[in-house]
A = this chain, B = another copy of it.
Amino acid sequence: MNDLATGALRAGPALRIDADRLWRSLMDLAQIGATPLGGVRRITLTDLDRQGRDCVVRWFEAAGLAVRVDAIGNIFGRRAGRDPGRAPVVAGSHIDTQPSGGKFDGNYGVLAGLEVVRTLDERGIRTEAPLEVAVWTNEEGTRFTPVMMGSGVFAGVFPLEHALARTDVEGKTVGDELRRIGYAGSAPTGTPVGAYFEAHIEQGPILEDTGNTIGVVTGALGQRWYDVTVTGMNAHAGPTPMALRRDALLAAAQLVVEVNRIAHGEAPHGRGTVGYMQVAPNSRNVVPGEVRFAVDFRHATDAGLEAMERALRAACARVGAACRVTVALEEVVYFPPCRFDADCVAAVRAGAAALAHRHMEIVSGAGHDAVYVARVAPTAMIFVPCKGGISHNEIEDALPAHLAAGCDVLLHAMLARAGVAA
């Protein structure tokens, strides 16, 4: 460390985080809830989640951060800035995982934020604005819905009381489980944020496919999810001639093809997925009388989502009539498309350029805490590649060099927004 240099000089483009320390932290946290296949199962508000939170809080405190917890269990570690009147520049994500999750989804964004703080501490660099590292409660939504619960409450998307009253399959509430694990905090939620950056693995194949190291995330796709119920008539597969059938699965199959056709017609940002289907009675020699399936449409614009829905409704009517079945379509989830803050996105782009990482603009296909935080603060995200685009899977993997590159970009983007004190 050069005590004589100004912070600004020390914080110049040569400044890098400690790639090994970041990797070790990721691997250490991944021990809590580690699965045999190398993944992590650390479901929100379980004992393992408590252990993970306790570990991160110890690390925060060891790095000199002032830790506070709000009423929905979001954890904030604050590093003072020169100007205590400025709203903090925040890095964050989540540490809860899918039931068969990986080491990087969420955890990377939290520990990258911590690594930024550790790096600044090591170099004796003070920022003008305070910095914070945030850990949002229950991003995954696998035990309690809605997903992105902590950031949703923080951003006022839904009320705290609603979130606290949500129950898991055993009837336990979020509020009780927060108290049980010691993370029902008393700090205020929804406090001002000067800027928010979230580093995350891409969870898709685009960066890998295009050979880029950094995704400059300009926003997130809007989502419309539907439940579809096709009702025909059970019939014995042998004695029932083809022409007299009312086959719910044949109709559903045609609609699966339509969902994909509609999404292909909205390239590059349109997505259409049927991921869930239940056939009744589901017996090999019975023409199915009922099929339920889910449609997940995503698009960068509301107009695109609306066009996809119109096309789906038309397909349901056409296929229903042709197959002599009824098709009921119900929207169950809507997330509007999100555009991140132009200045924050520019800070990410400038960081990637200054560090000479191959980068591209990308739109997040998945929801993230950043999408909710973006409703109340200037926000952007940084994507790094993950192997094969695979996520929500124990074999989720990412290269240390890519994770370090994303963390370096985070560091420089945060410094650009927070300002370096002389």
Interface string of A249-283 (1 = CB under 8 A from B): 11011101100100110011011111111110111
Residues of chain B with a CB closer than 8 A to A243's CB: 264, 267
Q: Across the interface, name the chain B residue whose C-beta is closest to A287.
A: B273
Contact A390 B235 (CB under 8 A): yes
Which of B242, B268, B276, B390 is in CB contact (< 8 Å) with A264? B242
A137 beta carbon closer than 8 Å to chain B:
no
How many residues of chain A are within 8 Å of chain B by beta carbon?
65
Contact A273 B237 (CB under 8 A): yes
Contact B241 A271 (CB under 8 A): yes
| Ranked 4 nearest A-B pairs via Cβ | A204-B239, A238-B365, A253-B256, A284-B294
Min C-beta distance of A227 to chain B, whole Å: 9
Chain A positions within 8 Å of B, measured between CB atoms, are 202-206, 209, 221, 223, 225, 233-244, 247, 249-250, 252-254, 256-257, 260, 263-264, 267-268, 270-279, 281-288, 294, 296, 298, 364-367, 388-393
Contact B249 A275 (CB under 8 A): yes
Chain B CB within 10 A, most for which of A206, A243, A249, A388: A249
Min C-beta distance of A361 to chain B, whole Å: 14
Min C-beta distance of A62 to chain B, whole Å: 34
Which of B233, B294, B365 is in CB contact (< 8 Å) with A240? B365
Contact B205 A240 (CB under 8 A): yes
Contact A236 B365 (CB under 8 A): yes
Chain B CB within 10 A, most for which of A275, A278, A367: A275
Complex-state Cα separation, A337 to B239, whole angstroms: 14
Residues of chain B with a CB closer than 8 A to A391's CB: 236, 239
